[in-house]
Structure 1
Amino acid sequence: MITLISLSTDVTAYSTRILSAYLRKKGLNTRLIFLPYVEFESHDALPDEVPYDKNTINQVIDLCKDSSLIGISLFTSDFPNAIDLVKQIKKNLNIPVIFGGKHPSAKPEQSLLLADMVCIGEGEEALTELLLKIESGQDYHNTQNIWIKHNSTIIKNPNRAIIENLDLIPFPDYSCDDHYIREIETDKIIQLTHEILKKYMFPEENTGLIPYKTLFSRGCPFSCTYCYSFKEMYKGQKYLRFRSVQNIVQELELTKNKLPYIQMVELLDDNIFALPMEKIDTFCKIYKEKIGLPMYFTGYPNDINEENLSRFIDAGLIITCMGVQTGSKRTKKLYKRNVSDETILKAVQAIHKFKDFLLASEYDVIIDNPYETNEDVADTIRLLLKFPKPRYFRLFSLTFFPGTELYEKAKQDGIISEEDELNGYRKNYFGFLYRRKKYLNFVFPLLNQNIPTFLIKILINKYVIFLFDRPSINNFLFGIMAFLRKFREKRRKSR
C-alpha cells in the first residue's frame, strides 16, 4: 500500500491521480489524501507558517499507518507546506517518504533534507518498481529514477527511458475509492465522494462552469528560461509526445459518464495549437460528435492562426489563452522567447476575428521582473494597447523556479539568496498575487478596464513615470487598489 498525498489547492491533482491509476493497474493498492489549503497571499507569511493544524496532521498520520510507502507530489509552491507535515509524519511513523514532481526533480538534494527518497522525472514505472520491491522485501536501492538517502550518503540512480507511448498510461483515478480530503471548513479529513469532489472542483472564472482538466501531451517544445524544462534529462529521446485522438476522446467519454457534473474541458498543455493539422481535424470532428462540451486551452503566438482556430471553435472552443509574457526586446532575449511583436499581433488578430464565438480571449503577461527597467515594462504595455477589445490580461509575478536557467542567473547575480529562497516558493501558482508596489504594476490592471487608450499612454509617458514611481505614491495607489478589491468582494458576497 502506498499513500499518495496532494498538497495542491486544485484537487484535480493530475499527477497524483495518474500515478494512482498506473499503480492500481499493476495490482498495487493506493490511498489518496487531498489537503487543499487557503493560499498565502502576502509576503508577510513567515517561513515556518503552515496551513495545517495539529488535528489535520494527526489524521494524516493515522491514515498512513498501514502504508509501505508515503508519496508526496510537489510543485515549488507546495514545498513550504510539506515541511512541518513531513517532519511530523517521520516523527510518528517508521515509513519511508518519497517526493516526486517538478520541484524535487529540480532540487533533489534539498528535498532529501526532508524525504527519504526522491523520484526524478516521470514516476509511473519507477514508483511501480520501487513499491513492488519494498513490499516483496527486495533490495530497492538500485531503482532507476530514484535517489535515496543511505548511510549519510545519497544514492543517485540513473534515469530510465522516457515513456514514448502515452496511450499505455491509464486515465486519472477519479474512483473516490479509498480517497480522502481535508474539509477546509472543519479541518477534518473525510472520505471523498463525488458529491464532495464537485464542491472542491473550482468553476472556471469566466463561465462559472466546472472544468475537467487533462493533458493531450507530455513535454514542452519551448525552452523559456523562467519555466521548468527537463529536456536535458531526456536528451536524445522524444521529449514532446502526444496521445492518440482516440485515447483522449475515450478518457473524456468515460469522464462524462463518471462525473456528470463536468461542464467543460480544460486542456492543460502548453500549446495545443502545435498539433499537426491532420490531428487537429480528427480531434475536432470526433470531439464535436462524442463530447460536445465547451473547451478552454492555451496556445503560442507562432502556432495560432485562423485555420486551426476555426476548427477548434467549431468543435467547442470558447476560451483561448495565449502567452505574451513581454513586449520588451531585451526581456524576450532574457526569456528566450523568440517571437516578434508582429507575430504576436498577427495571432491576436486571428483570435479577434472569432470574438463573436469566444467568451474570453486571455493573454498571459509576466510582471515583477527585477531585470526590467521601467522602459522595458512600458514597451510591454504599449504592445498590449494594440490588442483589440474584448481582451483580458492575466498578470503573473515572476517566480524564479529552482532548476530553471533564469533561477541560476538570479542566484549568480545576487537577486535571490538562500535565506529568502523558501519565502519565494510561497507564491501562489494559480494567481501569483504578489505584485510589487511599483507604479507600472498599478497601470497594468487598468488595461482590463474601460480606460481610454490615450489616457494609459499618458500614464506610461516617461515623465509621468518619473513623477509617480516613488515609494510613498506607490503605497498610496496600492492602498486604493486593496480597498476597492475588498469593497467589490464585500458587494459580491452580499448579493
Structure 2
Amino acid sequence: MMKHAVLINNSYVENLSVRYLSAYLKHKGFRISIIHYEGRKDDVFNLLPEESLKLLSEYCHDCDLVGISLLTTHQLKRSIQINNYLKGKIKAKIIWGGVPVICDPHFYLQYADYICVGEGETVMADFLSGKEPADIKGLGYKSKDGKFIINSIPNFLDLNKIPIPFLDMENGFILRGRKMIPLKNELAPSLSSYSIFSVRGCPYSCSYCLNSKLKRVFSNKGSFIRLIEISRVIKELEWAKENFVNLKQVIFDDDDFFIRPENELENLLNAYTERIDLPVYYIQTNIRHITDSKVRLITESGIELKWLKIGLQSASERINKDVFNRNFDKNIFFNGLKMLASRGVRVMLDVISDNPYETFSDKYESLLFYHGLIKEIRNSSTRDIPIKIYDHKLMFYPGANLYAKAEKDGVIGNDYVSHILSKRNTLRKQKEDIDNDAFIVALFNKAIRKGRIPLIAYGLLKILRVKLIFSLMIRLNIWKNYSAFSKTRTVERFLKSIRV
C-alpha cells in the first residue's frame, strides 16, 4: 500500500519548501497531501480553533507521516499547538522542518520528536521507506532516554535533476474553520501574483539573517548558490500562467537576481519576455551587483518591472560593519541609485530600524544620508516615486549570529522568543512603532516625491540636519509620544499627509 505523508504549511500558499518536498516525494512513489493552514490573510500568531484541529486530526488519522513546515520562528506557537494536538490523536510520527529548525536544532527538539537538520526531501523519503532514525542522514530526534541526537547531514540535492516544484492543486487544501477547501477551487481563480526562485541561496552573511548560519551548517555539502536552469524557470511560469487564469504579475524572490552571469541573465530575460510576458512586481539584488549593462538588459528587454528591491538596512557605516556584518559605501549607493533613477527604474529600499545598538551618531549619519540621497535623486528621475523605503523592526532570530550577540550583551532575555517573536513580526505597523525612526522614514518617502507637501517634508529634513534640533528630537523621543499633541486638526492633517 502506498505510504501517505501530510505536509502542513504555515506560510503563504506558494511556499517553496513544501512544493519541493511534495514534488520530490511524489516522484519517489509516495502519496502526498498538503494542508495550508494560514492562507493569505490569516494571523499566524493566533492559535487554531478547536474545530480546525479536529479536522486536521481526522484527515491525518491514517497517514504514515506528518510534516510541519516553519518558514520563521514567528510560527512557533501555532506549530507547537498542532504538534501536541496531533500527537494525542494519531499514530503517525510528526517531523518539523524549515530554515529556523536547521539553524537551531536543539531549540526545536524541545518541542518536536523529529526534525530535519538538512534538506527535508531525502529525510522524509527515508522515513517513509521505513529506515530507522539512526540511519537517516539529516535527521534530528530524541532518543528513548531523552537525549537529542543530530545525524550527519547529506550533500545538497542537484535542483536541476529533481522534479520542478509545481504547486500541487489536486492534493492541496486550505484549512479554514471546519472546512477543508480544495486548492484548485480556492486558488486557481483568485491568485494574481506568483512567486518563484531562479536562484537558491544567498551570497552574503548578514548577522541578523539565518543565511549566515546555513552557510556553516552546509559547508562542504555543495555550492551554497544554486542557479535554476532557465528552461525550468520558464516551464514553471508557463504552468502558472496556464493554471491561474487571473495571474497578473510575477515576483522573483531570489536573494540576488543579478548574481547570474550577464549572458545567462540576458537569456533568462529574453525567454521571459518571449514566453511569459507578465509584469514583474519586484526583483531583489545587492547594490554592488548593479551595473549599467545589467540595468540596460532589464530596461531594454520590454519587461514591465514595477520595483527593484535593494537592502540598505542602515546608512550608518559602524552599524553595517560592526553589527550587521555588511559592506556599506555611501558613494556606491548614491551612484547606483542615481543611475537607476535616470533610467526610470523604481527602487524599494529595505531598512532595519528600532535597533538597540544604534547611537545618536548612527541615527544622525542616516539622516544625512537620506537628505543627500534626495538631493541626488529627485531631479534626475522621471518617476513620481523613484524610491520608497520599507521600514522593518530589528528582531533577533535563534541561530543567527546577531541573536547570540544580543543574548551575550543582555539586549534580549531568555523569554525573547515567547514574549516577542511569538507575538509580532518585523512590520512596523503597530502603535509602539510610531517613533523617531519611523518619522524620518515617512519624511523621506514623502520628500522624494514631487509636489507641495513633499517640499514641506524636505524642508523638515533640512531643519533636522541642524544637529541640536535633531538631538532634541531624539532625546525627547518626540514621535514616540506624539499622541499627546497629534489630536489638533493641523498636526493630525500633516501627520496623515506624510504617511505612505
Normalising by the residue count of structure 1, what TM-score does the alignment of the two structures yield? 0.86
- 1:341-388 C-alpha deviation (Å, 9 max, x unpaired): 111112211211222xx4x42111110111001321232232123142
User: Is the 8 Å Cα contact of residues 211 and 262 (structure 1) preserved in structure 2?
Assistant: yes
Q: Partner of 2:162 in structure 1? A: 169
Matched AA of 1:115: A
SS in structure 2 opposite 1:92?
Answer: coil
SS in structure 1 opposite 2:88?
Answer: helix
State the 1:106 CA deviation: 1.6
1:143 matches 2:142: no
5+ residue gaps, structure 2: 379-385, 447-453
Q: Partner of 2:473 in structure 1? A: 468
Q: Partner of 2:338 in structure 1? A: 349
Matched AA of 2:218: Y
1:310 matches 2:292: no
Alignment partner for residue 438 of structure 2, among 438, 441, 447? Answer: 441
1:126 matches 2:110: no
Alpha-carbon spacing, 1:465–1:436, altered in 2? closer, same or farther (3 Å): farther
Q: Partner of 1:234 in structure 2? A: 218
- 1:182-235 C-alpha deviation (Å, 9 max, x unpaired): 23xxx233222334115774xxxxxxxx22101111111111111112111121
Q: Partner of 1:46 in structure 2? A: none
Alpha-carbon spacing, 1:484–1:131, altered in 2? closer, same or farther (3 Å): farther
Q: Partner of 2:25 in structure 1? A: 23
User: Is the 8 Å Cα contact of residues 103 and 217 (structure 2) preserved in structure 1?
Assistant: no
The aligned length equals 459
SS in structure 2 opposite 1:476?
Answer: helix
CA distance, structure 1, for counterparts of residue 483 and residue 138 of structure 2: 47
Q: Partner of 2:174 in structure 1? A: 181
- 1:50-89 C-alpha deviation (Å, 9 max, x unpaired): 3311111111111111211110111211112212222111
Alpha-carbon spacing, 1:94–1:121, altered in 2? closer, same or farther (3 Å): same
Higher RCO by CA contacts (8 Å cutoff, separation 6 or greater): 1
CA distance, structure 2, for counterparts of residue 21 and residue 471 of structure 1: 56
Q: Partner of 2:63 in structure 1? A: 67
Percent of matched pairs sharing the same residue: 25
Matched AA of 2:341: H
Matched AA of 1:365: V
Alignment root-mean-square deviation, CA: 2.5
Matched AA of 2:26: R
CA distance, structure 2, for counterparts of residue 461 and residue 436 of structure 1: 25
Q: Partner of 1:86 in structure 2? A: 83
SS in structure 2 opposite 1:166?
Answer: coil
Alignment partner for residue 207 of structure 2, among 225, 238, 246? Answer: 225
State the 1:160 CA deviation: 0.4
The 5-angstrom pairing of residues 275-286 of structure 1 reads 275-286=260-271
SS in structure 2 opposite 1:418?
Answer: coil
SS in structure 2 opposite 1:141?
Answer: helix
User: Is the 8 Å Cα contact of residues 216 and 248 (structure 1) preserved in structure 2?
Assistant: yes
The 5-angstrom pairing of residues 18-417 of structure 1 reads 18-36=20-38, 50-74=46-70, 75-133=72-130, 138-151=131-144, 152-163=146-157, 165-183=158-176, 187-198=177-188, 201=191, 210-229=192-211, 230-236=214-220, 237-295=222-280, 296-313=282-299, 314-316=301-303, 317-333=305-321, 334-355=323-344, 358=345, 360-385=346-371, 386-387=373-374, 388-389=377-378, 390-417=386-413
Alpha-carbon spacing, 1:85–1:77, altered in 2? closer, same or farther (3 Å): same
State the 1:308 CA deviation: 0.7
Q: Partner of 2:450 in structure 1? A: none
CA distance, structure 1, for counterparts of residue 43 and residue 278 of structure 2: 33
CA distance, structure 1, for counterparts of residue 413 and residue 426 of structure 2: 24
5+ residue gaps, structure 1: 42-48, 202-209, 489-495
- 1:98-142 C-alpha deviation (Å, 9 max, x unpaired): 110011112212212221101013222222122222xxxx42332
User: Is the 8 Å Cα contact of residues 443 and 457 (structure 2) preserved in structure 1?
Assistant: no
Alpha-carbon spacing, 1:467–1:318, altered in 2? closer, same or farther (3 Å): closer
CA distance, structure 1, for counterparts of residue 255 and residue 190 of structure 2: 24
